[in-house]
Amino acid sequence: MTRTRGSALLWLIFTVLLFTLISCSLLKIALGDLRVSGHLVNAERAQYAAEAGIEYAAAILPWQCRSLAAGWQYQQTEPPEFAVTAEAESSSLLRIHAQGRAGGMVQDVEVLASLRPLGKQALITQQLLAQDLTVTGHVAADEVVFRETPTYIAGDLRTAWLEEQDGGTYHCSGYLWGDIRPYALEVDFIGLAQEAALWGWTEPDCAGEVYQVDGSQVGPLFAPGKTAIALQLPWEGLIVALGEVTLQTWVPGSKVMLVAAGEVELAGVDEVWEGSLFIYSGEKIYCDPGGQLQLAGCLVSPLLELTGLKITYDDQTVLNQLELVPAELLQVAPTFDLQWLELAPRR
Amino acid sequence: MAVSLLVVVLTAVLTILPWGGQGWERQTTQSNGQQHARIAMEELVNELLYAYRIEVNPVMGMITYYKENRGDLQRYRVYLLGEQLLLDLPEGTAVPLASCIEGIILHPAGTLYPGDVLTLTLQVNQQVRHEVRTAVVAKNLTGEAL
């Protein structure tokens, strides 16, 4: 009896030790789970940090699209912590890579960014007078007046002031933005004239004080006065005109970028101008109100007076002439279209 | 004294042990179900995030999406068979994404357009009675004019 006294204490100590051991094991498992959860949270934070890097690059790089040939990089050391690099695949395509970091976790994200030099805005103006107008693309105008027949906009309408006159209405499939950046675009034609003289741009033939562009000349063209464009052949290039311009005939497949100091008239009646057309006028762009004209492109001017026009946003001609485009035009509202790449496809 | 203490400890332990064991088992089952749901959700979000086109059929609990592979869009389809969430690959074979999934709730229905938020809810089986919900905005969707 005496020899077995104290065995209960041993059992007690053994039991306590056993359960201490079990508790420690459970604690270790719980701490492991906590660590795993922490890694998951940090991985998520790193992913968002990397995406923030992409968005940062996408917000500022469109404005510097001409100076990206040598690449670009940026590092942010404060949360969200990321490092971004951009490499030019072509003059209008960038590969942007971002690496996000959080709590020791690293995540990579990569996108292909295609430049949209005019931010998908088919019409950019101070004042738009629209009648029987159909736009596929955004419209940016300080003031808009819709007259008589309805206007259809498949995109956003960005305007500070709009009015419906004489029964005119509009249908906009996108957002209506009231808070806009006012139109303040002025192209430096003196600089363009100097550039044309320096690089020896072609001057079209002049007949009766009107420069004639028929598509047979090699671009870029510089017309120092009133100009008539009546294409006979598919033509691609830049035309700079210091006077009024009349666009009379079009040949399908043409890609024309017209930068004019004076008014520009679109004289096509019941025609479809296939191809790509960008027009900047320092004064006004207007259509012949007698018929219907359909084109793909973009119109930029302080005043747009458009009747019977069907326009679909297209920036191909601007992209083709990117090296020659006046710098001011690339500062209007450039954006990127982002294609997010799956770096490690699971299947 | 020690005997009394041992009796007290053993009584407490033997009372708590089976109850704790049941709880442990229950929690393990629940954790297992949640793990399945979490893995399924992570897979789904990762797949849908880079999709170029997504069609949602809430009635059938089915998502059809297209991803780019060497310049071509290839079709994938997620659906529920029994309690298994399966993924149809472009080659025609189906691989399991997760088990223990009793239901899948999707919103909105139809073809998704840029900016649309797809809400996914996975219902883990009855033993676990748990729902996991997330939302995803696919980054590469195209559609409409712009």
pLDDT of res. A251: 92
pLDDT of res. B105: 93
The alpha carbon of residue A52 is apart from the nearest alpha carbon of chain B, in Å, by 14
Contact B67 A345 (CB under 8 A): yes
Q: Which residue has the higher pLDDT, A128 or A322?
A: A128
In the predicted structure, residue A235 carries a pLDDT above the cut 60:
yes
Can you tell me the mean pLDDT for A163-179? 90
* Cα of A144 vs its chain's centroid, Å: 23
pLDDT of res. A3: 63
pLDDT of res. A295: 93
> CA A284, CA A276: separation in Å to the nearest integer?
20
Which residues are CB-neighbours of A118 under 8 A, at least 6 positions away?
A124, A298, A300, A313, A315, A318, A329, A332, A333, A334
The alpha carbon of residue B3 is apart from the nearest alpha carbon of chain A, in Å, by 5
B63-112 tens-digit pLDDT: 999 998 877 889 999 999 988 999 999 988 999 998 888 889 999 999 99
Which chain B residues are within 8 Å of A11, Cβ to Cβ?
6
pLDDT category, B128, cuts 50, 70, 90? low
Are the beta carbons of B133 and B116 closer than 8 angstroms?
Answer: no
How do beta strands A93-102 and A105-116 pair? antiparallel
Cα Dmax for chain A:
135
Helix or strand run (H / E) with residue A190:
helix A189-199
pLDDT of res. B130: 79
DSSP helix/strand/coil, A115: strand
Angle between helices A7-60 and B2-49 (to 10 degrees): 20
Share of chain A above pLDDT 70, in %: 99
pLDDT category, A20, cuts 50, 70, 90? very high
In the predicted structure, residue B146 carries a pLDDT above the cut 60:
no
- Is some CB atom of chain B closer than 8 A to the CB atom of A116? no
pLDDT of res. B127: 67
Which chain B residues are within 8 Å of A173, Cβ to Cβ?
144-145
pLDDT of res. A75: 95
pLDDT category, A109, cuts 50, 70, 90? very high
In the predicted structure, residue A4 carries a pLDDT above the cut 70:
no
Can you tell me the mean pLDDT for A311-321? 93
Can you tell me the mean pLDDT for A113-141? 94
- Is some CB atom of chain B closer than 8 A to the CB atom of A344? no
- Which among B5, B67, B146 has CB closest to A120? B146
Contact A11 B49 (CB under 8 A): no
A177-231 tens-digit pLDDT: 988 889 999 999 999 999 999 998 999 988 888 899 888 888 799 999 899 999 9
In the predicted structure, residue B40 carries a pLDDT above the cut 50:
yes
List residues bridging with A72 in a β-sheet: A86
φ/ψ (deg, to 5) at B98: -165, 160
Least confident of A58-67, A129-138, A269-278, B126-135: B126-135
Looking at residue A183, what DSSP letter applies? P
In the predicted structure, residue A281 carries a pLDDT above the cut 90:
yes
User: Hey, what are B32's tokens?
Assistant: 């297992």
Lookup result for tokens 């690959």 = B89
pLDDT of res. A255: 94
pLDDT category, B143, cuts 50, 70, 90? low
Are the beta carbons of A321 and A257 closer than 8 angstroms?
Answer: yes
pLDDT category, A120, cuts 50, 70, 90? very high
Strands of A72-191, DSSP E: 72-76, 81-90, 93-102, 105-116, 121-136, 138-147, 151-154, 157-165, 170-172, 176-177
Which chain B residues are within 8 Å of A8, Cβ to Cβ?
2-3, 5-6
pLDDT of res. A193: 92
Can you tell me the mean pLDDT for A268-295? 88
In the predicted structure, residue B145 carries a pLDDT above the cut 50:
no
- Which among B9, B43, B47 has CB closest to A12? B9
- Which among B6, B87, B139 has CB closest to A8? B6
H-state helical runs in chain B: 2-49
Share of chain A above pLDDT 90, in %: 65
Which chain A residues are within 8 Å of B47, Cβ to Cβ?
346
pLDDT of res. A271: 87
- The interface predicted TM-score of the complex, written ipTM, equals 0.76
Sign for the pseudo-dihedral over CA of A119, A124, A128, A132: negative
- Is some CB atom of chain B closer than 8 A to the CB atom of A1? no
Sign for the pseudo-dihedral over CA of A188, A189, A194, A200: positive
Count the neighbouring beta carbons within 10 Å of the beta carbon of residue B117: 11
The alpha carbon of residue B69 is apart from the nearest alpha carbon of chain A, in Å, by 10
Lookup result for tokens 């059992």 = A11
Contact A339 B5 (CB under 8 A): no
CA distance to A142, A183, B100, B103, B130, per residue, from B80 (Å): 52, 54, 10, 7, 17
| pTM score, whole prediction | 0.81
- Which among A12, A137, A340 has CB closest to B140? A340
Contact A154 B145 (CB under 8 A): yes
Sign for the pseudo-dihedral over CA of A315, A321, A323, A329: negative
Is the bond leading into A204 cis (omega within 30 degrees of zero)? Answer: no
Across all residues in chain A, what is the average pLDDT?
90
- Which among A12, A136, A347 has CB closest to B5? A12
Best residue in A40, A120, A347 for a mutation probing chain B (most B CBs within 10 Å): A347
Which chain A residues are within 8 Å of B9, Cβ to Cβ?
12, 15-16
Which chain A residues are within 8 Å of B3, Cβ to Cβ?
8
Are the beta carbons of A298 and A231 closer than 8 angstroms?
Answer: no
Best residue in B3, B6, B7 for a mutation probing chain A (most A CBs within 10 Å): B6
The residue length of chain B stands at 146
Can you tell me the mean pLDDT for A313-334? 90
φ/ψ (deg, to 5) at A68: -105, 5
Count the neighbouring beta carbons within 10 Å of the beta carbon of residue B33: 25
